[in-house]
Structure 1
């Protein structure tokens, strides 16, 4: 039997070691078990059920029928073993979300105490398409799954969501849904899905969804609401306001908020302003056509109806005309900016003044909303009804003014993304120069991010906005900004596995490089796309990109560009189980990095050579290469590479049959990974240790490692398989 201890006599078994590291010999199962108990485990995720969604309004009138419909349908569906579905439909700003929030507070929260999840799909929609994997990733993190375990692909995210949510009666609220498939993908295994949309989605109704219609308020309900807000209002005047606002709650709220900020005026002044606005715009076919064009350009549905839409526009025109000048400029600025959300730092960078005051006025006027987000700083966006109105107003601005705002936004994101990339990947090889501004100049109150993890979270939170910015730069032919953004975004795409995004933006990066006649940049862009395709399993696409990049290697002076292409080719060869070809390619990449020299590149390519040698069964040669790589990594402070090298060393030692040393290397890799928060590598190390113990026929040790692995998975919010090793 192979033993994890020595096979000598009593002297060896009486030896004592205080630590286990490097190639120290582990003496006996008892000592090994003691070290198992000492392995550092990450903190367990909070076990509180999520309670997401916008807060309910304190002032809520009428909607008795709709609330009863929501309650009765939810009660009936809550008792079913299969998940239920409600479809809440009404024009934009009519109060659908407020209705659902009120229902959650009154009844639904008690029906679904194991968690309420909420997403506004407008925050993640680009070109009419929602990144559903990102939505499910948010849900998984809210359910306690560590971000290190959230997969990139939609299928994997869906499978994990169904596993983690199994047995939980969840309430999932999906706001601003436009198409049935995007809502259907978010149905929990048990519980209730509430879909909020501007129009009925027939296929959801065919799936059994219960329809709850939300109409504009009638005169009686609207009048009651206005008089709740403005107690001394004359009933007839309040009814006039309701009529002029077409019973639209958002328009009513905006009108009364406008009045509340001007105590010297009366409700009659509101009526006069709205009447004048209606006369000036209601009959203007050009305005209606422009409004429809803006709604279409923003990806929003166009089911608001002419009368309601014109009434809302009239109210918004009146409100915006009376706010402070800096607030009006901020409103129009939000209509120009690319993306879906904005931070105060971005707003200041693009020319806004008195930002906190102006944003507060927009929020209090119900024109802007604060976006629920775990990241900092807080984000805001215009209400979806106000967004089309702001974009319409922005179109009236001078082209030079709009272009200047976009130029400033691109500059801000280009520099911020470059700083984030530098924190995530350190001294990796980059073609672009350092950012023109220090990180401290990009924010006022606190840094945008501090440290690697914070920088990566910022990139992830800004992902949709960054992709809009890349496209905006491409549309304005700011080609250098396009490829610089794409190069920086590799830190996000590689780390969080947003691989499809990498392919999409990478195509723009390739075109930008070609416009600038930069073969070095094109090689880099094509290699990034190839790496994404490789990780997506599309090896033929990766090969095609690399072939196009190889044709450009001659004019490119930087030797590391040869190295990155050879490295990706080597990874593809490994995936195709061609270890000898992979080794030759990695060795060429290694020599390219030595020629610079690039210490990190030397470590990475040595690690790759070691992987190829292990795959080819050349254990001793692999150890020589990996030991040298570890020495360089320690000398240069390249700590993230050490656990990766240790895991491959452990496999090489196991291949030689030296199980004691293999276990020691795997333990050192586990400790190193835990220390720097590489949870995926920690997970791999535990699985490898369990496998090594099983091979040595040390069942107690195998069981101990399996239990550690199960504990890790549980602490990360996962449900491990029955055997704990999957």
Structure 2
């Protein structure tokens, strides 16, 4: 049995080992491919490919094969997991995650610390690297992580936990989502419960060798659920010593101190040139003392000197001397070092650096910086590049800039002292308008029929570019996910409730596409509170309706019904029958989820009446389809066929292909229950063709599942298996939570046949 993650050739070797073991246990010769072909009904050629490790057996075949070869139930489960991991990697086509950021300059000093880290890593216990802000914990951790990356062939993860960020640390729940997403787990498969997420992380990493670098942790409680299982290695950096991890998890602590005077001089020589440092050795000593041997301060000083080769180091030391009251590092000395690079910036560069302290997200782009500063994107991009060269920001990914917590705090303090409150509020508003317009533009690319009620009035600012296609729109949303959620809080703190609601409106389609229902509920709750402060009934109604959708998606039907009912009442008060109809339709879904068919039918009929009042034929057709399904569940198949037939006629006339696909699926379900398998299969196939035309993989997967049931009822096991295999493949492709049930269905079919 394998003890670590394997590839396809290794899986073939496992199958060969099982065949040899079975022969030893029975005292007979090994089963030939032809004998296995007789037992399975497969060709002996494909069996040879399976055993050679050149072809991955489908799930149902693999399960049957290992049982025929005598695998125990425990071994069957382990091997099934191994096979699924291989398939998941092959399906995604993704290489293992390689997330370690670049470290930039060569590591200076820290030889002792690197040796200690090498010694600590031998037993796989977590490692905690602690030390004061700016002392170089992250640089040390990254440098060492790159050095040992080859020991972790299944990937290296990096996550900034933002433990001391002015806007607050990343929650453990969000950190788990980020790590699981980095490992290829689709959002719909990530549990809502944080404890379940932590369990899934351990399951996914089981039998893998992955390095997990958790940077800038706030405390042990934030980190503990993120620790990987044995075989992987967690490296944590924090300003605190995280004694709780040392005590409860056996973590190995390493404290990082200031650079030695010798290494501080070496750092300056590396970045300024040895000849220049030797020529002004006395000035270098003064700089080292003034910076307190703090690497971050020394790096900023070196950046200023490198960008200005004509400057005398003695002049730089003179500027520093006034703030270094003691040989130990002081905040004043560090900020003086920061101030040099800041003072050399042009006026608009200084202003933009100050305003960066207002940005709530983990990183920002040139368009977002342009919005903050009221600049054009080209000028903002040039300033961001200049800030990066001066070590005031760091371009950790192409086009995306981060800022060290000390520098962010310095920028915010500068802004507090130099920028009037009205200017800071205006900058925040420009940023939020930029994000709201950008989110709205991307949303309308994803869903062109969506009414643009949440896009701010007026033309989009010049910082916003409409995405070219859906893929570009989703890529923007995913890159800006953290900033968008943080911007909701910024809007509320700044008193810009209209923009908070508009942002909440603007991100729901992307959250739905990714199945981020917890984030959906968080965002819409903020939007609802903003709408309540605005005393805007229409905005409140939308937020309640949206919250009802999020809750029903999570199976929280009681909360979903409460929000849908409130939204319904608000839409009725506003004389908006279409909005009220959608709320009734959501209430029908909640009853459907709970198997309460009589109540579901009543809500669907109310939705139908309201859609008719609103003269909304698309809504009418969909309500008719739902009512038909519920009537079928209640045994009234004639009425069900009539209702779904009316729906289909409307949808085909309107060109609503998505609605027609769903209704054809309903008609197939009803015909199946009536025992008319021929008509049912025909309806299902028509439905599949329309779902495929729309690119609706969930619709295809569900319909394939029902088609398989109909084939099985008709006695065609092979056709049922094929339909269920296609359903499984679609569910796996989108990372749907129904994957396990689909696999179990195929396994049960094989056992029965």
> What's the TM-score once normalised by structure 2's chain length?
0.78
Higher share of residues assigned helix = 2
SS at 1:336 equivalent: coil
In structure 2, what is the Cα distance between the partners aligned to 1:43 and 1:641? 33
Asked if the contact 1:87–1:210 (Cα under 8 Å) also holds between the matched residues in 2, the reply is yes
CA separation of 1:698 and 1:175: change in aligned 2, threshold 3 A: same
Residue 465 (structure 1) aligns with: 483
Residue 416 (structure 2) aligns with: 395
Asked if the contact 1:413–1:466 (Cα under 8 Å) also holds between the matched residues in 2, the reply is yes
Asked if the contact 1:151–1:497 (Cα under 8 Å) also holds between the matched residues in 2, the reply is no
Residue 360 (structure 1) aligns with: 385
List aligned pairs for 1:447-486, cutoff 5 A: 447-486=465-504
In structure 1, what is the Cα distance between the partners aligned to 2:732 and 2:590? 33
- Give unmatched runs, 5+ long, in structure 2: 1-87, 746-753
Match of 1:423 among 425, 429, 445: 445
Match of 1:52 among 85, 88, 99: 99
Match of 1:594 among 612, 617, 628: 612
**Displacement of 1:44 after TM fit?**
3.2
CA separation of 1:632 and 1:534: change in aligned 2, threshold 3 A: same
Residue 11 (structure 1) aligns with: none
Residue 270 (structure 2) aligns with: 228
CA separation of 1:104 and 1:592: change in aligned 2, threshold 3 A: same
**Displacement of 1:182 after TM fit?**
3.0
Match of 2:399 among 375, 378, 401: 378
**Displacement of 1:642 after TM fit?**
4.7
**Displacement of 1:556 after TM fit?**
0.7
Is residue 2:374 matched to residue 1:338?
Answer: no
**Displacement of 1:358 after TM fit?**
0.8
Residue 75 (structure 2) aligns with: none
In structure 2, what is the Cα distance between the partners aligned to 1:180 and 1:626? 57
- Give unmatched runs, 5+ long, in structure 1: 1-40, 78-83, 283-304
SS at 1:185 equivalent: helix
Asked if the contact 1:218–1:247 (Cα under 8 Å) also holds between the matched residues in 2, the reply is yes
Residue 301 (structure 1) aligns with: none
Larger mean CA deviation between 92-101 and 527-536 belongs to 527-536
List aligned pairs for 1:541-620, cutoff 5 A: 541-620=559-638
Asked if the contact 2:511–2:519 (Cα under 8 Å) also holds between the matched residues in 1, the reply is yes
**Deviation readout 1:496-549 (Å, 9 max, x if unpaired):** 343333444434433433344332322222222233233334333334434444
Asked if the contact 2:172–2:223 (Cα under 8 Å) also holds between the matched residues in 1, the reply is no
**Deviation readout 1:108-137 (Å, 9 max, x if unpaired):** 212111111111123998953525455444
Is residue 2:367 matched to residue 1:327?
Answer: no
In structure 2, what is the Cα distance between the partners aligned to 1:51 and 1:415? 33
Match of 1:663 among 681, 698, 718: 681
Asked if the contact 1:173–1:194 (Cα under 8 Å) also holds between the matched residues in 2, the reply is yes
Residue 208 (structure 1) aligns with: 250
SS at 1:380 equivalent: strand
**Displacement of 1:269 after TM fit?**
2.1
Cα-Cα RMSD: 3.4
Asked if the contact 1:115–1:169 (Cα under 8 Å) also holds between the matched residues in 2, the reply is yes
Match of 2:300 among 239, 246, 254: 254
**Displacement of 1:54 after TM fit?**
0.9
Asked if the contact 1:647–1:665 (Cα under 8 Å) also holds between the matched residues in 2, the reply is yes
**Displacement of 1:322 after TM fit?**
1.7
**Displacement of 1:254 after TM fit?**
1.0
Larger mean CA deviation between 693-702 and 519-528 belongs to 693-702
CA separation of 1:616 and 1:64: change in aligned 2, threshold 3 A: farther
**Deviation readout 1:377-421 (Å, 9 max, x if unpaired):** 832232222111111111111111111112212221222222233
**Displacement of 1:255 after TM fit?**
0.7
In structure 2, what is the Cα distance between the partners aligned to 1:58 and 1:268? 24
**Displacement of 1:669 after TM fit?**
4.1
CA separation of 1:581 and 1:166: change in aligned 2, threshold 3 A: same
CA separation of 1:481 and 1:50: change in aligned 2, threshold 3 A: closer
SS at 1:212 equivalent: strand
In structure 1, what is the Cα distance between the partners aligned to 2:166 and 2:622? 36
Residue 224 (structure 2) aligns with: 184
In structure 1, what is the Cα distance between the partners aligned to 2:724 and 2:196? 23
CA separation of 1:432 and 1:136: change in aligned 2, threshold 3 A: closer
In structure 2, what is the Cα distance between the partners aligned to 1:306 and 1:522? 56
Match of 1:411 among 427, 433, 440: 433
List aligned pairs for 1:683-694, cutoff 5 A: 683-694=701-712
SS at 1:44 equivalent: helix
Residue 80 (structure 1) aligns with: none
Matched residues, number: 647
Residue 61 (structure 2) aligns with: none
In structure 2, what is the Cα distance between the partners aligned to 1:683 and 1:371? 39
**Displacement of 1:685 after TM fit?**
3.5
Larger mean CA deviation between 157-166 and 216-225 belongs to 157-166
Asked if the contact 2:103–2:142 (Cα under 8 Å) also holds between the matched residues in 1, the reply is yes
In structure 2, what is the Cα distance between the partners aligned to 1:219 and 1:607? 77
> What's the TM-score once normalised by structure 1's chain length?
0.80
